[in-house]
Structure 1
Amino acid sequence: MSMSTKLVVVLRSDLELAVAANASAVLGLALGARLENSLGADGKDARGHLHAGINPHPVPTLAATGEQLRRIKALADERDLTVVGFNEVARGSRTYVDYLDRLAQTAPEQLEYVGLAVFGPKKDVNKLTGRLSLAG
């Protein structure tokens, strides 16, 4: 089944495995909450056991430098794509209120992104991420 939309996760290439896994989970949860119909139907296995539906989109996980992440975020915002950024301000905050307070005092050019989740028309997402390599 060919989809007209695309979803990618782009992680900073220098992340340790545990940080990369955490960033992917945070980004997936945040993006999924923003998308309508983001889950496929529940399914049953051969013995009739129910399995909760999962996201029907393939989710390539790509690698980028910090500067590439900042550029992708800015371009995704300009193109009005759905983009979620996970940054070092969030990673270093103890609570969500602390994160919001610290974020309000951080200029956009000072944000160091750990990763991004980007969703939108396939051609637009490909323009921003098509030249990146797979993470790992």
Structure 2
Amino acid sequence: MGMSTKIVVVLRQDLEPALAANAGVVLGLALGGRLEDSLAADGKDAGGGAHAGLNPHPVPTLVASGEQLRRLKAGADERGLTVVGFNEVARRSRDYAEYLDALAATGPQDVEYVGVAVLGPRGDVNRLTGKLALMR
């Protein structure tokens, strides 16, 4: 039986590989920090080596345009899903205090998303992301 919830990470399609990797990590950490009991049990390999538990959800990484990311974030917010948006204001800031100050001076229409991570009921997440392409 499949999971009733789904996690998807969607990155802006024009990101260079290093920026895409960074955005994926930032989104994963931020989303993971909002989840309780999100890790599966630790495991051991055949030699007894320890392996930290992972998130049990498959996490497809998709790509979208900046406008599609804006619509995805809005749609996830409207549905009450758990959503994390990583934006250019954050990406360009040198520390978190600078980010918060810059964000406070940025109009909502000027927030440009680098990526969005969404968690929610499988059907809702699929409706929002089902037509997006896998990252290649």
TM-score relative to the length of structure 1: 0.98
Instruction: Look up the match of 1:15.
Output: 15
Q: Distance in 1 between matches of 2:90 and 2:17?
A: 18
**Offset at 1:12?**
0.3
Runs of 4+ in 1 over 4 A off after TM superposition: none
Instruction: Look up the match of 1:58.
Output: 58
Instruction: Look up the match of 1:76.
Output: 76
Instruction: Look up the match of 2:86.
Output: 86
Instruction: Look up the match of 1:32.
Output: 32
Letter in structure 2 aligned against 1:81: L
Instruction: Look up the match of 2:127.
Output: 127
Q: Which runs of 5+ in 1 are unaligned?
A: none
- How many residue pairs are counted as aligned between the two chains? 136
Letter in structure 1 aligned against 2:26: V
Letter in structure 2 aligned against 1:12: R
Q: Distance in 2 between matches of 1:108 and 1:3?
A: 34
Q: Which moved more, 1:81-90 or 1:104-113?
A: 104-113
SS at match of 2:33: helix
**Offset at 1:91?**
0.6
Q: Distance in 1 between matches of 2:76 and 2:82?
A: 7
Q: Deviations along 1:82-130, whole A, 9 cap, x unmatched?
A: 0000000001101100000011111111111000000000000001000
Question: What is the RMSD computed on CA atoms of the aligned residues?
Answer: 0.6
Q: Deviations along 1:47-91, whole A, 9 cap, x unmatched?
A: 111100011000000000000000000010000000000000001
**Offset at 1:14?**
0.3
Q: Which runs of 5+ in 2 are unaligned?
A: none
Q: Distance in 2 between matches of 1:74 and 1:66?
A: 13
**Percent identity of equivalent pairs:** 72
TM-score relative to the length of structure 2: 0.98
Instruction: Look up the match of 2:99.
Output: 99
Letter in structure 1 aligned against 2:128: L
